[in-house]
Structure 1
């Protein structure tokens, strides 16, 4: 077992039961949101030529006011144990592929990303499952 895993296990074992239950609930909700985003992936324009991971990330931008870098890493890799630079690269690719369609993705310094007019995009792309968060 690596030191990071050992440290994470120790940190979790020190948390009160209520905090662990809350953390599990939060992670379950995030996974449910990700699954729903994946089911909507077919609604994105094919001419954007987004890869499956790029589509998942773009859909997360539509579903959430802000997508944090940790959320993006979870979407892309299933873990938050990756470098943030890889998320920046994915966002750059998405921006490049969608810029001709007036898609604007803002960087929120030290936090993550935000899709400008996300609810308009949800309606334009006919993604009815998007809720206001």
Structure 2
């Protein structure tokens, strides 16, 4: 298995990090089984719109959500677990418009996760890439704000 170069752009000045693998076949079955309820529970309205806009013949709406889900799960691991009152929709992942962009994706936190980031004085970034047919590698890192990528 060869990991694409885009994953290699993990930022400097890392405070903490998390990694996740998403099996797209399982993820797509979950999206089909649960439909809008799953998307609304885990993703912000902006993320759902972005996933619809980025869906193509080669990359389905469910696959785009799978990449976002992987980054969200990576954030949960980076912060040491989801606080009791937090939910995955408190993590908003920004996907760049240019798929060739190798910069980390911005991650905006709200609720208890935002309070954690403020207390730790960090910002969170992440990324996700398909590494094999049906397998996605995602990561998230909390870094010193303004640190070079």
TM-score, structure 2 normalization: 0.28
User: In proportion to residue count, which structure has more strand?
Assistant: 2
Higher relative contact order (CA 8 A, sep 6+): 2
Higher helix share: 1
